A and B are shown apart, each in its own frame.
Chain A
Amino acid sequence: MAGITRFGSYVPFFRVQRTALGGGRGARAVASHDEDSVSMAVEAARDALRGAAAPELLLFATTSGAYAEKTNAATVQAALGLPEQIASAELGGSTRMGLAALGLGLDAATAGRRALVSAADVVIGAPGGSRESGGGDAAVAFVTGPDSEACARLLGRASATTELLDVWRLPEERFAKQWEERFGAEVLGPALVDAATRALKDAKVEPTELSHVILDATNPRAAAGLPRALRLKPEQLADGLESQVGRAGAAHAGLVLASVLDQAKPGARILVTSLADGCEALVFEVTDRIAAARPRHTVAGWIGSKRDDLAYNNWLKWRGILPFEPPRRPDPERPAAPPMRRNERWKMAFEGARCTRCQTGHLPPQRVCIHCGAIDEMAPERFADRGCKVATFTLDHLAYSLQPPVVAAVVDFEGGGRLTCELTDVEPASVAIGNELEMTFRRLYTGQGVHNYFWKARPRR
């Protein structure tokens, strides 16, 4: 068998209060204007890969791919600095695909290939509807590997595939639609009970032995029957994070699993399910490797690091739902394919250069050393995970941005190297020389139908 060897999560910085959406409790997480499913997947995967063995397969699941045609997983691969010699595949079409991808990643691990499984979603709904208010934006990532390295060992599993009209969206439509909930519950409820029962049988685990049960469904009513059917006690049910994050599409089941793994004790058994056009059910046992496998950021940590008063109209603007008056500045130019390709290690992996003669760091990579003038004596070096500080900064009220003012800073890296870049997830008034920052992968803008990904700095979260 196989298991999860490492994991990581990501919840963006902004929250919209449900009271601002016409009612409901708590807040939902909102990806910033410079984030999408791809950039968020990168953030979660960076944490999961810290200290992990290199994967041979990358899986990416989302219902909100940045491109409808073009391998989003390749962007994830490049931003993580993973070698090109890995396999990748993308899953989409329903929110179940996040957990389905984890299942496939575990299959690969069983077959001897370590996999990086990432899932992310930016969930929008028609203004005023329950998908808008109940959804959330987040990402999660798992590394799968052999049983001997697992922090959560797979004990058993079951799947189901169900053809029905429950949640759907045509390619040209912005918002998904959903059939009457009672009908979906009628069909999917039994599918969940059946799959969960089969998975537990496969795992040889009794429902009473479960420490944590994770329920994820397009239709909460459809999942409500499982605790009754398995006679679960309320304390066995994991917090679904509805009031702090919202249901994060294809990332949701995995995100809740990550939040459980953030705290679970060795020996704990977990049933995780995801219900959408069928069902995935996986049973895990936490091993004593869990403490060493934990990521730097917990889900609770991400949830606690926030700005929780994003105005509704700004959010609609960020998602392109609400038209707005553009600044009197030129529209951003699309980046060009050949320079993006030849500078890929810089643009995507944030790989600079260090002079092998005098050790001076360079961002972007240079051929000639600024300090000693040596030509072509550089070694590549990834700066993505290196700490940095504000050397000086400014608030640019004139530059084009979906969240003016642009906070621009000159950033100095530990161990040398300097970059002028944008700050994100930042309170303009709180920026000061010497502030500690970390780098984050973002979609700077979309120009003429091309997404422009690059790195920004943000205050440490």
Chain B
Amino acid sequence: MKVLIRGGHLVDPKNDIDGRYDVLIDGPVIKEVSRNIRKVDGSTKVIDASKRIVAPGLIDVHSHLREPGFEYKETIRTGTMAAARGGFATVVCMANTNPVNDSRSVTEFIIDKARAEGICRVLPCGAVTKGLKSEELSEIGEMFEAGIVAISDDGRSVRSAGLLRKALEYAKLFKLPVISHCEDDALSGGYVHEGLASLLNGLEGIPAIAEELIVGRDIAVARYVDAPLHLTHISTAGSVEIIERAKRAFKKITCDTCPHYFTLTDESTLTYDTNAKVNPPLRSKEDVKAIKEGLRKGTIDIIATDHAPHESTSKDVEFDLATFGISGFETAFALSLGLFHEGVLDMKNLLAKMTANPARLLGLTSGVITEGAPADIIVFDPDMEWPVDRNSFASKGKNTPFHGMTLRGRNLFTMVDGKIVYNELG
């Protein structure tokens, strides 16, 4: 089937395109991109994108789909439905499932399940170490053959620098990026940012240095073995500073942050709202400022969601006992568009951090609107205002601190591999 997306304003960071273009899709690929596509046959579905922005489908390098093992929190079906709504054509799912994705069979399960039930493209991330236990390496090669696109022990750091070194070296065999969750156990163990919230609320704090120490450590190891390293969900001013300096000397460092780290501060935890409990924790005003500056200067390459859905009973408890995480797929893009509205990033730069840059990290052919590329396309209205209502989320995870807020900018249409998977345009 052919689809013509007509009349939209195309922003394609990779090709440096920012203007009025029509896009013709034939089957799973993009067939033509030009100023005015007139000749279409009667069977072509025409999408009117006038007054909207057309862009490559978003790519999320960090999410949790919870399957297998935690289907009461999310499934591949509900998670990818939420992702598609939010404008994501591709999501990377982390390995902290049950069983952990540390072997070929789990990777194959996820890929088969996603093929059967997934709404958007799912790319599994394998565990660095078996069982995420920081004891021995997972069977990285076998998982690579089965289809993983990166390795990470997300949820914790690889405890020993020696083991991390082996992982970085070994992953070179398959050109797999290693994604680091940066948190020093010995300094962590709290529930909110060590600062205003811990001081006023009496909650145990997680200091910024718990993150920064491991950012520094992991960069040093990666540089020593000359291996690519991606640091995920960066949240502090100190981390941005360390990464900025490191990048000057060593080019294989990339990093991402998440919308909540440039939107909210630890003030959100002052009411003991467990939906604002996330790891790393919401930081200080100064940190938020530094994260935005890092995004503006390009120190932070990518915006990821860290979509972490949870069942309500795990949040409806004392703050200390509540699970960490924010259900992020359905608010991430609107919150990121906030950076455009605030003037932190222009549209091309913002979209690069959610399309071309993650595609480069993962070695994907998508994230671009070019003839022959996979037809992953979104159409959105950067100005449309809408109220966040967690009860209308497609995700099973209703855990969002943004419930009730009005956000500006909304995805209206998502196409993955030429298939329309979400459409508010009619």
Asked if A pairs with B, the answer is no
Which B residues contact A (CB, under 8 angstroms)? none
Which A residues contact B (CB, under 8 angstroms)? none
